[in-house]
Structures are given as C-alpha cells and as structure tokens.
Structure 1
Amino acid sequence: MSKLLKWLAHVGVCIALAIPATAQAQNPRAAAGGPERLIQAKAGGTSNASLKCLTEALYHEARGESVKGQRAVAEVILNRVDHPAFPKSVCGVVNQPKQFSYKGKVGKMRDRAAFNRAQKIASEALAGAPRNLTGGATYFHTTYVKPSWSKRFTRTTRIGAHVFYRRGGQRIASN
C-alpha cells in the first residue's frame, strides 16, 4: 500500500508540474514569457531538486502551521532566491548554513499527510503561486523566540506561530 501511495503522490506532482507547461503550449502569450514565467525562472523552476528542498523545509519548519502559514514560509524562501544577498536557488537558500533551525537536527519525514501537504504547497509555490502573504519578507522566526537580528528588520506580519520580517527599505516584489 505504501508503494501505491508513493506512486500516486509522484503522479500527482508530475501532473501538477505538467499543467502549466500544457497551458503555455495552448497560449502563445504565456509561451513568450510574462511575470509568471520570470518568477518560475528565478525560483529555479520546478525541478525535482527544488521541489525536494522546499518540501523538506516546509515540512520541518512549518508542518504544524496552517496552509497559509506554510505558504508564507515558502514565500520567504522564494523571496530569498530573488534577493541578491542570498543564494540564487531554492536548495542554495534552504541549505545555507545557520539559516533554518531544523538543518542537521531531524530525521526522516515520517508524517505522510504532513509531507503530502508540504509537497503540494511547495509545488504550487514553485509553479508561480502569488506571493502576497508576507509583504516581501526574507526572514521569519517562531513566536517563542526573540532573536537579536529581529530588531534590525521591518516586521511585516504574523501568521500562526511565525513572525515575518524584511530589510528596511527593501523593494517588495509583487506577482
């Protein structure tokens, strides 16, 4: 049964990734580019590596959050990809030293439902879902800590157990 669920999840992701490509082929204006394609290109597209890295980050950093909270964390990671101070790929951002609390401290992703939800949210984010939850945030922390760096940034919002920040005066990308 586990193999069947894994296969179905894989097929679902493949279909989700193929739909934007099919829509592009049917719409010549979409094939020419546009803001959605630009955002996908900056985020590293929808490669398997990007999907895996973003899913892992969402699972470990925000699995107890609402869908909105997980989308907000995905937004921060993609905002970092677009920001010149951070690596230019999803995996580069997620694997950057000392940026995410779960790195090196957790085991496998054992909660199948949480994994599937995180993977769906990651796939949607990489496919160009709107980033309108965090006000351009590139940083976040949980409400039970108060890091010293938070004083240097502009607080943009709180969603669930996370508080979001951006650098002061930073241009906010909208899509």
Structure 2
Amino acid sequence: MIALPHGPSGLSRATWTDADLANMGWHDCRVHAVSIGEYVDDTLPPARLLLDLDYIVRWVEPVRRELPFTFWIAPATLVFERAWNITGQMGPLHEVMEIADVHRLDPLDGGPDPLWHIEGQNFDLQFRAHGYIQYLRLPPQRTARQVLAMSERGGISFAEQSFA
C-alpha cells in the first residue's frame, strides 16, 4: 500500500503539473500575491508567473444539510514556466482575489505554447506559458473558511518546494 502525503485530506501528492490539469480545480482559491520573476539565463523567455494561493484540496460536505461545508486547504505556489505576453487586469486591489477557473487554450496562431486564462474575482490574466508546477508548501489544514490566516499559512511566500 502506498502512503498518501496527507491521508486525512485524501491528498495523493504535494506537487502537481499541467499534466494534471483535468484533475485539478482552483474555484474559490484565494490569491495572496502575484509575482513576475525573471530567469537568470538570457536564452529563455524572460518571465515566470508565480501565484501565492490557498489551494482547496477538498471540499467536505456536511453530515447534515443545515451545517456548513468545511475545507482542506494548503498554502501553495503556482508557477507558470516561460510565461510571456502577460495581459490582464487587477482591481480594486484592496478587494480579495479569488480564482474562478484556470483554462488552457490552444493558441490561434499555431505557436508552441498554450494560451492560459486565469479568471477570478477582481482579476483576470491571460498569457502564454509552456506549463505549470504547483507546490503545496504545507500539509492541508481542515478549516471552516475557504482561506487560511497568515499565521496558518506562514505568511506570503513564493517558495518552490513541496512539503512531501
């Protein structure tokens, strides 16, 4: 029997890639920070798009209908490699940013990299990128809210290392 990285939440692994897109969902995941980081090597496209978010690993349906859902949530770093042609909008910036959906679209120009579209509450991003890696930085925590407190998530981070 293979041990899960986090049995109570049912999490099968702590690092995910664009090959797992069909098995992932970001609906209602809170985005705490966005960064565009540069590569050191000049031969590659100049940017990487990083999101610091609370990834909802699992929604737990209540035993009785009148009770609220609970959630297994882990702080995560979502990294889009070789991101370019990044466009979109954000704001108002004092409002929360939550992801509604992440789409991978075939490019209309026949280029090698897919078009990515991250739809969200108070933001919308479109860009080209080779793919992504998502790192769950800490084991999931069960909570009654869809967001972790800064103390529960270890603050803002773009660390690219999974807990398992």
For the criterion TM > 0.5, the same-fold answer is no
Shorter-chain TM-score: which interval? under 0.3
Q: Determine which structure has the larger strand proportion and give its number.
A: 2
* TM-score (normalised: structure 2): 0.25
